[in-house]
Copies of this chain bind each other. A is one copy, B any other.
């Protein structure tokens, strides 16, 4: 209720502060019998980790995850899986100057007003570091979904600040620190980041995430629609200011005569809806795009006030990504996986005994429309 638990049946309860002793999460509701070890999780954590290129926070800690419970002899037991990540590189001295003032664009002011006090060390609970346990939980969901349904999750950066990134090849995504699906654009992105860093400034980004092999029928019709829960998950990610499903805002100016995706015996003729109709998955790719605002922690001095309401000037030193969007891709993938996982269990609970005489579109046919290369949004 205080917002630290994600999901209804695959429930992830997150804890920790950026510079406290540890961060982590408890996953309750994981099906039993899933082969799981620390390496399965560590792999995803390493993708998210700071310090992996010069364009992201130079926080040098391993983010090593420890499984505290819920796994016995390499298999999940159906009881809560507690994951612990110790904070080893805390450097809380960097943040001393922000105790009494409020950084523009940050949660400093709102935390203080809500709770009457706040942990100022490294942003405390509002730090993007708290996405690490989410990524860890997402790794568990991804493994189960892959085994049970063949579902996979892929994200990439489609814009860095003013630079639109063309979608050339999914194979390129892991080859650069930006998760850009294009090799040719990388030098331009690197130069852009360097100039921002030099200027003490920051920029935003747009990320696209897709899920493939999603079972048909996930999502609840009225309020907990699959797309509503995706929007909730994505807008909750630090710095996100917008979410689109399928054609998103482009659908405003579209006509109904071309917009509604036609159905053919071999599958849907298009996927403008982004894989969801009436809040329920169609079996097509889930297509999600998010807008990330520029990092608020910048060296450039900005006007603010202190707790007494007096004018102050704030500059933020310490390590900060000039674009938090660079690390957002694996996090957005994890969030999408958590939403799909939760709805897979919810669907099984209510509709586990539904049998259709004949699905109108065979499973492989339903995927037809998405065999074409993604258009990047």
Contacts and interface: CB of A to CB of B under 8 A. Distances in A.
A57 to B, nearest CB: 15
Given A217-B114, A232-B229, A236-B222, A206 B29 contact: no
A279 interface: yes
Nearest to A131: B222
A298 B217 CA distance: 25
Given A110-B219, A305-B361, 18 more contacts: A9-B350, A14-B80, A17-B79, A21-B66, A32-B116, A32-B350, A77-B115, A78-B114, A107-B278, A112-B356, A116-B351, A203-B254, A205-B252, A225-B236, A228-B232, A244-B249, A256-B296, A309-B358
Interface string A208-236: 00000000111111111101111111111
B235 A242 contact: no
Contacts of A229: 232
29 contacts: A2-B346, A3-B222, A4-B26, A4-B28, A15-B26, A16-B68, A16-B82, A17-B79, A24-B82, A29-B350, A72-B124, A79-B222, A104-B260, A105-B273, A107-B277, A107-B279, A107-B280, A114-B217, A126-B221, A200-B257, A201-B257, A203-B256, A231-B235, A242-B245, A256-B300, A262-B303, A262-B304, A346-B349, A349-B349
Given A79-B125, A262-B303, A358-B309, A241 B241 contact: no
Contacts of A111: 221, 278, 280
Contacts of A39: none
A246 interface: yes
A359 interface: yes
Contacts of A151: none
A161 interface: yes
A105 to B, nearest CB: 3
Interface string A255-298: 11101111111000100111011111111000000011111101
A372 interface: no
